[in-house]
Structure 1
Amino acid sequence: MTGTAPFVRRLLPDLTPWRASRDFRLLWLSGCVTGFGSFLTFVALPIQIKQLTNSTLAVGLIGAFELVPLVVFGLWGGALADALDRRRLVLLSEAGLAVLTALMLVNSLLPHPLLWPIYLVAALVAALDGLQRPALDSMTPRVVAHDQLPAAFALNSLYRNVASVAGPPIAGVVVVVAGAGFAYAVDLLTFLVSLALIARMRPVPPSGSAGAPSLRSIGQGLGYAWSRKDLLGTYAIDLVAMLFAYPVALFPFLAAELHADWALGLLYAATAVGALLVAATGGWTSRVHRHGRMLLFAALGWGVAMTLAGLFGNVWLVLLFLALAGGADQISGVARSTLWNQSIPDELRGRLAGVELLSYSVGPQLGQVRAGAMAKPLGTRGSVWAGGALCVLGVLALTAAIPRLLAWDSRTDPNALAVREQHERRAAAEAAAAAAAAGTGAAGVPA
């Protein structure tokens, strides 16, 4: 037993960021709380629209109302994150999301709830989410030590994957039993708790060299991304993987074709289960340095697993391959996030987080269209396995086209080394300021 203990410890999540950073703990707890509440609203919205209209088209229009605000405000939110206090920006947007949830609650309590406010609030929520997400994502590198970023991302993924597995079933029961209004009320409460947690964090002011938010500053962020072929490779691989091998829209048809309508919920949860298992045993990811290779192999694993999920007609094998795909996607996410956070200067981190928001939001939307279009000539399973095969071919092509990504190493990459030095200088300055404050009395004289 003693011989296996070190091996088990290497697999377990690295809790160092949690222990070392009070601000990271507060941020993590805030995410846990709002993650549960968001799933309640995520499930309540389509159910309420279905109850009001009994129209699949009306339910599907939610995505159309959300996509454009997310794209536009995601880029603008990145510029704001580099120019303003990121904690304050998250607080203000979180308060705005709470107000919008309260409006949904009021509408649900009307004798005859209205449809148009639901679409309006959905669009406004997407806009605020676009404004908030870059600031939220770019806060972690400021509150966690540079070498603890992979572990921090793994811990964030852990609660997100738990929410993805447990959230929808719990939310479905809550909405069906207690109604959409109760779901909105609980979501509102989680926002209030989250606000209290984030308010206790220290400010996260912008870097001194960050400029005012403007179209020019957004262009500077896009220009920086274009100049970094390794970054472009991460965006391109994620887009290819989601475009060709994201068949979630076909799951209801896949369940019917497998004669397993009872397994529809399992199909939706399978990838999240795989991701959760990897996150729960992902302590090894903190010791990886070649994150480009890690990303490429994980993307290939995603494509291969989706290909096998389409080729086999046994529902249990399909669920297994979907879970393997989810595990590969979790590894890919750790690689992407680590490469981004360890090599992008802080004064550009928010704007690049806005670009990243687009890269992992647009891909799944286009992937749904691809899956549905290919299902007409190839059938449901044909669309799944063909998409997986195209993903593998696309990733291999990108590997050949972007050798810099394959060679990326956090120990030698000049951008990563520069960001590490920037992080260490800031940490030393903050420690010196704290020591000076501790050694000075309220009257400005030594204590």
Structure 2
Amino acid sequence: MSTARSHLIDLSPLKASPAFARMWIGSVLAGIGGQLTIVTVMLHVFALTGSTFAVSMIAVAGLVPMILAGLYGGMLADAFDRRRVALIAATVTFASTGLLAALTWTGAETIWWLYVLSIINSAANSVGMATRTAIVPRLIPRDLLAAASALNGVAFGLTVMAGPALAGILVALTGYGWTYTIDVVLMLSMFLGLWTLPSLRPEGEVVRPGLASLVDGWRFLRRASNIRTQYVMDIIAMTFGQPLVLFPALGTVLLGGGAVTTGILTAAVAVGTFTSSLFSGRVVQYRWHGRGIERAVEAYGASIMGFGVVLLIGAFSAPATEKLPNVGLIVAACILLAASGASDNVSSIYRNTMMQASVPDSMRGRLQGVFIIVVAGGPRVGALYAGTLASLTTLWFPPLLGGFLVIALVALLARRSTRFRAYDAENPEP
């Protein structure tokens, strides 16, 4: 392979496993639809209430159900056929999104319906994500796991890049009903990717779902210091460096542009994720994953702090409106958000590979359940942090302070975790 091509993404997992390729394609299409609904619900709630705090409460309300579903879903994935568990979770998500579309078309939607159905979607997605991630190491060899994580970064980038941008445009042009309906149609592709998988029962000793299974997983996690450290680093980053909940207000009262700006800002994060995945050839070859996670999370914090500086400048600039947005500041914000997406994706590649390579198959579902709780729960706590602090202060303060806290806390944690910094992908140890 030439030096130039060695920087490009490795497509070997798609060639090595048709089953993985089908599941990957289904996840991309269904993920785009899921992002349509996530952003549309945010816009819908903001339109009904005019409150950033009410938008943040969508994420907060789903936190406890998501945690319980992730834990129990992980136990299910370690006890039953993972293909069947993933199919059931996808069915619940499909049904709840269909009901959301039906209520909107009939004009029967309320703020409480939006909350309840968002909670159901969150819980079902938690189970589905934990199970699908636990499936991947059974479909491809260990030496391709990092490349598969980079491909999942491409999938995430595509979904978050296309979904929010389309949501902003569709809501502005057609309203909420059509956007939810498109998600229902796109969800069908997930069933194709899962339905064609072989039966995938867990290997090794099987522990039935329940307290014994949960305790068994907790004991393993207590011994797995590398896994615990990456969890804590991700929680820090997502708690203090997740400004997504601010985007509807930024498009309305600070940067201008309305729903379209909300979609563009959200998509900018995915542009960084997608681009960094496309040029991940050298990233997946780096063997010191602990150091890679540390440096990537610190770069993430710096990007979010820079985003806060841009908003601070906007607060003292000429007022922007939906028809007269501050284009210069929107571009600057998008560049920094793209940098945050790229940094988070590099961290995610190493974190996923560490999880899949160092955790035994009999424990993988439960640990993936905890991992999904960390990945998805952190942003929800972050939504509460950003929404509450913005309500008490101003829109630019949460990312400015949060980015600084991410850098400082992760640097401190890394200095105290020498085993994590020495983690070697060629000799994976949890």
TM-score bucket of the superposed structures, by smaller chain: 0.7 to 0.9
Aligned counterparts of 1:83 and 1:382: Cα–Cα separation in 2: 46
Aligned residue for 2:106? Answer: 110
Aligned counterparts of 2:110 and 2:387: Cα–Cα separation in 1: 31
Q: Does 1:261 align with 2:261?
A: no
Q: CA deviation at 1:162?
A: 1.4
Aligned residue for 1:354? Answer: 369
The residue identity in structure 2 corresponding to 1:110 is T
Aligned residue for 2:305? Answer: 307
Aligned residue for 1:280? Answer: 278
Q: CA deviation at 1:366?
A: 2.3
Q: Does the 8 Å contact 2:240/2:403 carry over to 1?
A: yes
Q: Does 1:137 align with 2:112?
A: no
Q: Does 1:221 align with 2:217?
A: yes
Aligned counterparts of 1:283 and 1:139: Cα–Cα separation in 2: 23
The farther-off stretch of 155-164 and 376-385 is: 376-385
The residue identity in structure 2 corresponding to 1:308 is G
Change (3 A) 1:182 1:397: same
- Counterparts in 2 of 1:86-125, with a 5 A limit? 86-110=82-106, 112-113=108-109, 116-125=112-121
Q: CA deviation at 1:236?
A: 0.7
Q: CA deviation at 1:30?
A: 1.0
Q: Which has the larger radius of gyration?
A: 1
Aligned residue for 2:294? Answer: 296
Aligned counterparts of 1:231 and 1:374: Cα–Cα separation in 2: 30
Change (3 A) 1:378 1:185: closer
Picking from 166, 172, 175, the partner of 1:170 is 166
Q: Secondary structure at the match of 1:325?
A: helix
Q: CA deviation at 1:104?
A: 2.4
Change (3 A) 1:293 1:29: same
Picking from 340, 346, 357, the partner of 1:325 is 340
Aligned counterparts of 2:247 and 2:40: Cα–Cα separation in 1: 20
CA RMSD of aligned residues (A): 2.6
Q: How many residues in Structure 1 have an aligned counterpart in Structure 2?
A: 410
The farther-off stretch of 224-233 and 123-132 is: 123-132
Aligned counterparts of 2:179 and 2:26: Cα–Cα separation in 1: 18
The residue identity in structure 1 corresponding to 2:412 is A
Per chain length, whose mean CA-contact separation is higher, i.e. which structure has more relative contact order (CA < 8 Å, sep 6+)? 2
Aligned counterparts of 1:44 and 1:302: Cα–Cα separation in 2: 26
- Counterparts in 2 of 1:426-441, with a 5 A limit? none
Aligned counterparts of 1:128 and 1:118: Cα–Cα separation in 2: 16
Aligned residue for 1:344? Answer: 359
Q: TM-score, normalised by structure 1?
A: 0.84
Change (3 A) 1:47 1:202: same
Q: Secondary structure at the match of 1:337?
A: helix
Q: Does 1:152 align with 2:148?
A: yes
Aligned residue for 2:401? Answer: 386
Q: CA deviation at 1:128?
A: 1.6
- Counterparts in 2 of 1:376-415, with a 5 A limit? 379-414=394-429
Q: Identity of paired residues, percent?
A: 30
Q: Does the 8 Å contact 1:252/1:261 carry over to 2?
A: no
Change (3 A) 1:412 1:32: closer
Q: Does the 8 Å contact 1:243/1:366 carry over to 2?
A: yes
Question: Which runs of 5 or more residues in structure 1 are unaligned?
Answer: 416-447
Q: CA deviation at 1:373?
A: 5.1
Aligned counterparts of 1:382 and 1:193: Cα–Cα separation in 2: 41
Q: Does the 8 Å contact 1:95/1:191 carry over to 2?
A: no
Aligned residue for 1:430? Answer: none
The residue identity in structure 2 corresponding to 1:276 is F
Q: TM-score, normalised by structure 2?
A: 0.87
Aligned residue for 1:194? Answer: 190
